[in-house]
Each structure stands twice: as C-alpha cells, then as structure tokens.
Chains A and B, each alone.
Chain A
C-alpha cells in the first residue's frame, strides 16, 4: 500500500496502540520475556535490519541481522532468560527503550494496524559499562484480538551500518 493512501487511526485506537507499545517496551526493559512473548501473535515475524551505506539516489540495501518466526524468537528468549544458558545476558544487560514518534494507520484488515515508531534503546553490559545506543525505526503490524492487542510483525530498521558492541543479544 502506498503510504500516501494510509489512513491514520482514530484517537481512541491511537491511544490503545501507544499504550501497547509502551507496555511491551517496559516488559522488555524488565526482562519479562515470557510476558512479552505472550503479546506476540503465533504467526509473528520479527526482523532486525542493518543498513549498507550507499550513495544518495541509489536504491537502499538493508538486510536482516535477525529474522525469526515465533519458534526462533522463543529460542532466543529461552537462551537469554536462562542464567545457565547465556554469557551475554548474565549478568544481564541494563536496557532502556524510549519509544516515540508513533504513527498509526489502518492496516490490511479491520483488526490489523500499521504502527511505526522511533526507538532509542540504551544498553550497558558488564563488558561495556559505559553503555551504547541502538537507534532505529520500528515498523510494526499490530492486531486487535479478543484477548487483547498482539504484535504480528516487527521490522526494526537500525540507523547503523556497524553494530557498536559485539553481537546483539537483546530484543529491539
């Protein structure tokens, strides 16, 4: 769908979407991964994309550094949430996700919505006490279900060519 044809959601829906995004950010910052996973749809696709620096006017190339279905996501979470199974997240990273600039549009169906937001995620860890930032745009598909809102698709587009510190071990 051409973004020019996107219809912004009504204010009530916008508030619900904002509340959902804030809530799932808080769950991740508290490392309540089970709680976070419960907010994802069974058919979720979760991608994190990095950039390739290209000349202006040349087609952008971004490519996935994470591309998971729900099983893959669960496997990542099982690793980083179990102190016996992770070195990168034990002791855990300290993270703070600031989510802002939310734009929400009607999606492909009556119960599905496109929610784009900006993410500034701070992370410090034992090997990087000074911390660092991931800066990204999230392009999410949110679904309204009888059980509540669910994250059906997330595309995180990092504004970074080179990841700043080691391998990404947290969710964005």
Chain B
C-alpha cells in the first residue's frame, strides 16, 4: 500500500489542507454524524408555502427520523415524529397531503395536529391511570422559521435559529426573502438518490468554483445564456467567497468589471423595485451585476440563484439528506417571488430544473462524478490518502480587510477556503459530541 501523506491530525487537518477520505465513505461516520450533527443542530425541513393551509402536511426526515411537518387550524406549525406511540407504524405514509387529524392506520390511535393523543379507539381497556397527555406523537422540540424556511431540531437546548444562521441570513435574504410576500415553491421537490456522501453536495455548493469549467463544460458550452457572455474566469477577479462563524458559506460571482450590464445579468425589471423596498441598500447592491450565488447553510441546506434567460433568475433550494456513508437523497425546490407573474414563474421553474434538478443538465454530470469519487475512494488503499483542500491554504488566514458586509470575505472566489471552513465546522461538531 502507498504510504499515507503523513499522519493527519484527526479527520480534518485545517492547517495542512487535508480531509480524511474515511468520512466520505464509511457508515460508522454517518452514524456519528447523525448523533453529533443532525440530532443536535438545526436542520431544514420544509418551505412554509409547501403547507399553506390548515391541515397541510409534508413527510420529511430530521436526522434519520421520519417527521411530519404540519400546519394546524390556527396556522401554527408542528413537527412530529412520524411513528405511532403505540406500536410504531408510520402515521403519514404519503409524501404530502391534508388531514384533520392523524389516525394511525395500524390500530387506530388518533392524534391532533399538535401531536396530542385524542383516542386509542380502545380507551376503555386502558388502565385508569394511563395518561393520554404523555402519549402523544413525539414532538420535534424546536421548530422555528426564517422567512418561510422551516427548520427543526431534536435538541431542545439548541441556540435560537436566528443566532444559528448568524451572518448568512444577510446573504440568503436577498434570494429567499426579497419581496413583501416572499418566495413560494413552484412545484413539489425533485427527489433523487445519489451514491455519494451528503457532504460532497454541501461542499460543492458552499464554494467549489474549480469544478465548474471541467465538470460542466457541456452546459457552459451549449447554453445560449452563458455561451454568449463573458467567461467565468474573467469574472472571478471581482467575485468572492463568504464564510460565517457557524460554518455557513457562499460564493458570489459577478460580471467582470468593464463589461456592460445587459438583460442577461439582470433581475426581472418589474420585481427589482420590490427588492429595493425590502432589502437594505447594501443587500440590494449585492444583487447588482451578480451572475451566480451559490451557498450552503451548515449542515445540509444549499441554494443557488442563476441566470436562466434575459431578466430571468432561477432560485433553487437544495437539501442533501444523508442515507448512509455512501448515499444521499437530494431534494430540490425551485422558488420564485409570489408577486411574479404566472408566466414568469412557469418559465423559471422549467428553465430552473432544466439546469438544476432530477434531470438537470448540470446535475447529470455532477452526480456521475460524485458517485465515481465515492466508489473510487471506498477501499482500504484510497482511504489512507486524504482529500486535498490545499488551495485554501494561501488564503484562509487572509480575509478581505475592507469587506464592509457581514461575515468574512475571501478573494479570489476560485479557492477552497469556504469548503475547508465547512469542514472545520463539521470537525468542531464531531469533536464537541465526544
């Protein structure tokens, strides 16, 4: 066997820009992640517009547990373990629906939308001291929203969601909450399995500018929107990555200086004034001449806004749900401003998933390469060789001094700083859990 590159200091060696392969391919690490990250921190569950009316619910996963996210008659949101307190059957076996109460299909235990047990259908046979109030569906102890995004946590003591999001909120709001009425999901999420570790997706979106020209040469060559415009490389000089203290990050790529702005770089003209009303002047400035923003909220929620036509921007919300050490399920929503016209919504939906979705022209190549990396790394010889994050090293201790916006900014955009910072946060969580 080849000699490993010296002994690493743990799984993530930020100082040397090395990350163990082991953590991208082993089920044991996946199980530890479930305990130390996914059961302790905030995890995205759903968008509020997926369950707009009373009784609407979606079935999702929080950590490794199936949960129901439901809106009750008073408009309150609840997160419930999707497993009957009697004998464990799944209460909601559909992906989504509308209910007045939840009746277990196995023996008939019936719950309110808050999870409270109403009847077992055999109440008369229960001991007199049986306390119904203690036998409701297990509630997700913390459920909070940030401008339409519903997060849950199994950790009752987790910090408030706004504190957890921290500085990244300043960067996601101009894309996920920029008009008075907010964004809405345009269709159910695309869902697919990928034979790849979930962190590969999270890293790809937090700031992997280096894969774009090689992995995505196809769509970059063929897409008239992109092909007609200045290349990615020329724009990199005034683009940057942002890293926040919580390990969240994003990469913003701007139109190269000197190139005239035209319809291919602009947001919809009729919606822009609405952004200006809601966003701060600096947040509005962030949008100008922006070509692409892509980012990840630790651990597994990502988003991207990209140009899909003249004055058309598709905003995609993406979740990398771990399934095992070597597999994930991807959820992908296209969202748009509620105020946008029906025609605009249908266009950005169609063009959005043409690029980024279950059959996306970008996704098909990503998924193939991520699966191949997972396969090729999952053997004793390869596992001794850490992944390289070396291009972070010359920059990671040198954030932009004159960055006037939240978080730490790093230039240029095409280094691995945000990815290594993501891994640093991952390592912190894993160690804190010991």
Residues in A lying within 8 Å of B, measured CB to CB: 48, 50, 52-55, 58, 61, 63-68, 72, 75-76, 78-80, 82, 84-89, 125-128, 161-169
Contacts and interface: CB of A to CB of B under 8 A. Distances in A.
A54 B99 CA distance: 12
Contacts of B187: 63-64
A85 B218 CA distance: 4
B191 A169 contact: no
Contacts of B193: 162-166
B353 interface: yes
Contacts of B139: none
Contacts, number: 126
A162 B59 CA distance: 14
B371 A127 contact: yes
A65 B194 CA distance: 16
Contact of A169 (B93, B96, B359, B371): B359
Given A76-B361, A168-B359, 11 more contacts: A58-B98, A63-B188, A67-B353, A85-B222, A87-B218, A88-B368, A128-B195, A161-B95, A162-B192, A167-B357, A167-B360
Contacts of A87: 215, 218, 364-365, 368-369
B217 A162 contact: no
A64 to B, nearest CB: 7
B97 interface: yes
B329 interface: yes
Interface residues of B, number: 41
Contacts of A168: 358-359, 364
Interface of B: 93-98, 187-188, 190-195, 215, 217-219, 221-223, 329, 350, 353-354, 357-361, 363-372, 375
A166 B354 contact: no
A52 B369 CA distance: 28
Contact of B223 (A58, A75, A82, A126): A75
A103 B336 CA distance: 39
A64 B217 contact: no
A162 B215 CA distance: 24
Given A55-B94, A64-B353, A75 B222 contact: yes
Contacts of B195: 127-128, 165-166
A124 to B, nearest CB: 13
B190 A79 contact: no
Contacts of B223: 75
A52 B365 contact: no
B357 A86 contact: no
B364 to A, nearest CB: 4
A137 B93 CA distance: 24
A67 B372 CA distance: 28
A161 B95 CA distance: 9
24 contacts: A48-B359, A52-B188, A54-B97, A55-B93, A55-B94, A58-B97, A65-B357, A66-B359, A67-B353, A75-B223, A76-B361, A79-B218, A79-B222, A85-B222, A87-B365, A125-B368, A126-B368, A162-B192, A165-B192, A167-B359, A167-B363, A167-B367, A168-B359, A169-B359
B221 A166 contact: no
Contact of A163 (B192, B221, B350): B192
Contacts of A167: 192, 357-360, 363-364, 366-367
A88 B96 CA distance: 32
A33 B218 CA distance: 16
Contacts of A84: 217
A84 B219 CA distance: 11
Contacts of A127: 195, 368, 371-372, 375
Contacts of B191: 50, 161-163
A53 B358 CA distance: 17
A84 B353 CA distance: 23
A93 B187 CA distance: 29
A168 B362 CA distance: 11
Nearest to B375: A127
A168 B193 CA distance: 11
A127 B327 CA distance: 13
Given A54-B94, A87-B215, A127-B368, A165 B194 contact: yes
Contacts of A53: 93-95
A164 B358 CA distance: 10
Contacts of A63: 187-188
Contacts of A169: 359, 364-365, 368
A169 B362 CA distance: 10
A58 B96 CA distance: 10
Contact of B358 (A65, A76, A85, A86): A65
- Which 4 A-B pairs have CB atoms at the shortest separation, nearest pair first? A166-B367, A85-B218, A169-B364, A167-B363
Contacts of B367: 88, 165-167
A86 B95 contact: no
A79 B219 contact: yes
Given A75-B361, A168-B364, A54 B222 contact: no
Given A76-B361, A167-B359, A65 B190 contact: yes
Contacts of B359: 48, 65-66, 167-169
A79 B368 contact: no
